[in-house]
Chains A and B, each alone.
Chain A
Amino acid sequence: MSDDELIWRIAGGSGDGIDSTSQNFAKALMRAGLHVFTHRHYPSRIRGGHTYVEIRASADEVQSRGDGYNFLLALGDSFARNPQEEAYYGNEEIKPLSENLDELREGGIIVYDEGLVSEEDVADLNLEERAEENDWHVFPMDLRGLAKEHGREVMRNTAGVGVTAALLDMDLEHIEDLMSDAMGGDVLESNLEILHEAYEIVNEEYEFEHDLRAPTGEHETEQALLSGSNAIAYGSIDEGCRFIAGYPMTPWTDVFTILSQNFPDMGGIAEQVEDEIAAAALAVGASHAGAKAMSGSSGGGFALMSEPLGLAEMTETPIVLLESMRAGPSTGMPTKPEQGDLEFVLYTSQGDSSRVVFAPATIEECYEQTRLAFHIAYEYQIPAIIIYDQKLSGENTNVPVEFFDREPNPDLGSTLTEEELKEAAHDASGKFHRFAYEHESGAENGVSPRSLPGQKGGRYLATGNEHSPVGHISEDPDNRVYQMSRRIQKLDHIREELDEEHDSNQTYFGDESADFGIITWGSSQGAVAEAVDRLNENGHSVKAVGVSDMMPFPETEMVEFLESVDEAMVVEMNATAQFRGLIQKELGRYGEKMTSLLKYNGNPFEPAEVVESAEINLNGGEEEPSAQVHIEPAAGD
């Protein structure tokens, strides 16, 4: 935890413009030279219901949400239902203020809209008393009134930003610029008036006693503010993907939307279809005909994709699928993150699975691993899946613009041209040996190059049945064993390529000589990375690895890591320790070395929770963690 950091939380109801206001404010902080990281908390509801966005800003790099926060802008929920006794939802209007108090740090600031939140409700919160105890600085302001006076009520967000800027002693320049970019005419005028008015009222009428100020920093190069969904979409664009098919589902919809908006201007095709079975089947069909294609969904929709996924494996059709996890089972908690779909994504669809699964942890990894997924899929003719979650999908952080300055790669991988087809093996009747035995194709990595419909001399049959070299249905035992082994063995060759030709997708943190290790995967990596720093600052010796290669499993790296520690804690957002299970399955040992830290309450890990649980383990594992997490003992304990 940096002392010099701002964690600003803007809270209101769904539909109150929390998301767009926070986006702009995060961008303003980034432009001012700070590193930013956002975290979005929202209900599955169009209007109303408590929602907040948190922006962590610091002069140093930030890779996770922080522990709690230090500035609350509570706008009130303008779409709140009437409070009724017995109703489980209680008083919604006050929630943006009341629900957020427990996590506010000592010395923190509270600004709330007294134009929307009633005095009696505030009185019920014992706010004064609690402020006294915690050294909070409370600023009630009639943001709604101010907005109404100069424009419209909905502009109270702007008033809130003006108050924030004044209290944090921030320059308005970047905020004004961003407003000018986003709007014009009377709307811009009113908003600017409200911004300045709020800023001045605070400076003139309020006395400051708080210490919190916006940190100052500087970027060496120009920065861009992006989410994991942006990065996945951009990775696919740069890899020449120009076909996407999908069906809306939170949180996967983000990538689907970005590409649907961009593809038509890039000669690409985006199809919104009747269901997810069709979506993945379309990706298969488009790829079969020679496009770089993708589809995706979240857990429930991905369940429907099991069929086409298996078909892609059997027909060796390259596709990239996305799975943006949210809390399950079934509809679960649609807008809350979880890492509970790992086992499902690894094994869904009948028969032995042969697929590649990457779990990126950061915005940069989302981009890189999406590109890698396309490369592997098209080279090895295998489905490649990016598994990520609601957290990574929607959290924004700054990345240097130059990171994206790369060459596109539209290469179709192991696909033949008509010229090359002339040299390839055919049977007597002219059918191309699409699924050739290795001695015919000359390929040593299990891949038999493919043709595309419409090419001269490439005729073959693709089928979900077991098939002969030309694709005809075959139940011959020798052919079966040959084809099956060839398909499965591609994973070994992919592992080899990943180990030998690419930088590792695993990220290592901490003290290399440490005896205590933390293992995590996907988006939980950020919180773990920060926790490792703190643990080492606290005098412990700890290291960590964030794993992205789920399949094929990075056996060498994981054995090395686990051999080097006495004890390891596996951190993941699910209730049944799925990744720990995968490690044991893949390595066949280390069960007695690994404990688990699990969280499945709908909120991602905060670094402090990882620190606390690691310290409990380091102290013998007797205590209970204070947070809503669960420590699962090692096998045999």
Chain B
Amino acid sequence: MSAFNAIGDEREIDREEYTPGVEPQPTWCPGCGDFGVLKSLKQALPEVGRTPEETLVCTGIGCSGKLNSYLDTYGFHTIHGRSLPVARAAKLANDGLEVIAAGGDGDGYGIGGNHFIHTARENHDMTYIVFNNEIFGLTKGQTSPTSPKGHKSKTQPGGTAKTPIRPLSMSLTSGATYIARTAAVNPNQAKEIIAEAIEHDGFAHVDFLTQCPTWNKDARQYVPYIDVQESDDYDFDVTDRGEAAQMMHETEDVLNEGTVLTGRYYVDDESPSYQQEKKDLGRVPQEPLAERYFDDDAEWERSYDLLERHT
């Protein structure tokens, strides 16, 4: 018998279950793209049949980190840049959980960049949503890793000399097996992509364009947007690493010129997830580790039985 009965609970789920009674109304600014992420999650989670109590959402710090407060699941609002290591360990300890990590572009591509690269490389079975607004919002509008070259802010008064990070390309090079970009202004696509990302058995990275109407007024609101799958102008195979790389490169190049390309960029359904790989190698238990602590019949190994090598 499981000690975690929310996991695998098959029932109809109302999306309002995800709205917390404690704090139903977000504090994000009117017009903020973060609403789009929240909405797409509330739509996608019931659609793919995940209940609030089998879902763990781990966030970083920033406006995006408040997602936990407005989405009523199990939540872990961690620290700046560190949502991924917390999230992937929770998944390792109990892989019945649906684990979603989320944070801003500074959080994921800046201070947490190392964790991003390595979590993607390991292909953990989880979803990572990056709220990309090309700016540090909560700290009042400083230049971020995705801000365009020349971006002026109080901390970059002369305009930044740095070229922005290429989130999709970095993700591909690192080893993510589902990579997509969507935008808050494109709710239908966003919901579908989030649902696909959750269902994907591996590291699914969604670069979510979330406009900041307060601190990034100069930036476009990511309209008009183009869905690369629907447009006739683009034709590439999302399962082909080379073609995906080229498409990503172009998408990143044209964003700051006003062309907002979105859609699925890379999908690899073949590679096993890290958990699966380790299970196959016998390096992770078949049954979730967390269950074992509740199993009264479990036999726990003792160090006493290891002493022969020391005598």
**Which residues of A pack against B, CB within 8 Å?**
31, 222-226, 230, 233-235, 237-238, 240, 242-243, 245, 262, 264-271, 273-275, 277-279, 281-293, 307-308, 310-311, 315, 401, 404-408, 410-412, 415, 417-418, 427-431, 452-465, 468, 470-473
Contacts and interface: CB of A to CB of B under 8 A. Distances in A.
24 contacts: A222-B311, A235-B303, A242-B289, A243-B289, A264-B283, A265-B301, A269-B285, A278-B85, A278-B114, A281-B89, A285-B88, A286-B289, A289-B93, A410-B292, A429-B20, A429-B22, A454-B74, A455-B4, A455-B6, A459-B52, A459-B53, A463-B68, A463-B76, A472-B23
A34 to B, nearest CB: 14
B77 A289 contact: no
A582 B133 CA distance: 47
List of 7 A-B pairs having minimum Cβ-Cβ separation, nearest first: A429-B21, A285-B89, A290-B290, A234-B303, A454-B4, A281-B85, A463-B77
Interface in B264-311: 278, 282-285, 289-290, 292-294, 298, 300-304, 306-307, 310-311
A281 B5 contact: no
Contacts of B97: 289, 453-454
B238 interface: no
Contacts of B285: 267-269
Contact of B3 (A286, A288, A417): A417
B72 A431 contact: yes
Contacts of A274: 114-115, 117-118
Contacts of A225: 310-311
Contacts of B72: 429, 431, 459
Given A271-B89, A290-B94, A292-B293, 12 more contacts: A243-B93, A267-B285, A277-B115, A290-B93, A291-B289, A410-B293, A411-B293, A415-B293, A454-B53, A456-B9, A462-B76, A472-B23
B111 to A, nearest CB: 10
Contact of A267 (B91, B94, B292): B292
Contacts of A310: 79
Contacts of B86: 281-282, 284-285, 288
Contacts of B52: 459
B294 A289 contact: no
Contacts, number: 238
Nearest to B74: A453
A406 B4 contact: no
B192 interface: no
Contacts of B96: 454
Nearest to A265: B301
B78 interface: yes
A293 to B, nearest CB: 8
B77 A461 contact: yes
Contacts of A455: 3-6, 53
Interface in B1-49: 3-7, 9, 20-23
Given A273-B118, A290-B93, A308-B82, A238 B311 contact: no
B90 interface: yes
A405 B93 contact: no
Contact of B307 (A289, A401, A418, A459): A401
A427 B79 contact: no
Contacts of B56: 289, 453-454
B196 interface: no
A267 B278 CA distance: 12
Contacts of B54: 453-454
A472 B22 CA distance: 8
Nearest to B301: A266
A283 B82 CA distance: 12
A456 B9 CA distance: 10
Most chain-B Cβ atoms within 10 A of its Cβ — which of A278, A285, A471? A285
A407 to B, nearest CB: 8
A454 B290 contact: yes
A405 B92 contact: no
B260 interface: no
A234 B310 CA distance: 12
A406 B306 CA distance: 13
Nearest to A266: B301
A461 B72 CA distance: 9
B69 interface: yes
Contacts of A454: 4, 6-7, 53-54, 56, 74, 94, 96-97, 290
Most chain-B Cβ atoms within 10 A of its Cβ — which of A226, A265, A271, A290? A290
Contact of A285 (B7, B85, B118, B293): B85
Contacts of B69: 461, 472-473
A224 B88 contact: no
A430 B86 CA distance: 25
Given A242-B289, A264-B283, A277-B85, A453 B21 contact: no
Interface size class of chain B, counting residues whose CB lies under 8 Å from the partner chain = 35 or more
A360 B179 CA distance: 49
Nearest to B68: A461
B189 interface: no
B23 A459 contact: no
A262 B301 CA distance: 10
Contact of B90 (A311, A453, A463): A453
A464 to B, nearest CB: 5
Nearest to A470: B22
A415 B294 CA distance: 10
Given A410-B293, A456-B53, A470-B22, A462 B75 contact: yes
Given A242-B289, A431-B22, A472-B69, A286 B78 contact: no
B197 interface: no
Contacts of A268: 285, 289
A277 B86 CA distance: 10
B302 A311 contact: no
A473 B138 CA distance: 15
A456 B115 contact: no
Given A266-B301, A284-B86, A291-B93, A278 B118 contact: yes
Contacts of A226: 310
B198 interface: no
Nearest to A262: B306
Contact of B293 (A262, A412, A456): A412
B26 to A, nearest CB: 12
Contacts of B115: 274, 277-278
A259 to B, nearest CB: 11
A267 B78 contact: no
A573 B95 CA distance: 45
Contacts of A230: 310
Interface in B63-87: 66, 68-69, 72-79, 82, 84-87
Contacts of B89: 243, 245, 271, 281-286, 288-289, 293
Nearest to A224: B310
A408 B74 contact: no
Contacts of B68: 461, 463
Nearest to A471: B75
Interface string B119-145: 000000000000000000000000000
A279 B85 CA distance: 8
B85 A410 contact: no
Contacts of A453: 4, 53-54, 56, 74, 90, 94, 97
Nearest to B308: A224
A243 B292 CA distance: 13
Most chain-B Cβ atoms within 10 A of its Cβ — which of A226, A264, A291? A291
Contacts of A285: 58, 76, 85-90, 93
B85 to A, nearest CB: 4
A427 B22 contact: yes
Nearest to B118: A274
Given A234-B306, A431-B22, A456-B53, A269 B92 contact: yes
Nearest to B76: A462
A26 to B, nearest CB: 11
Given A271-B89, A278-B118, A289-B56, A264 B79 contact: no
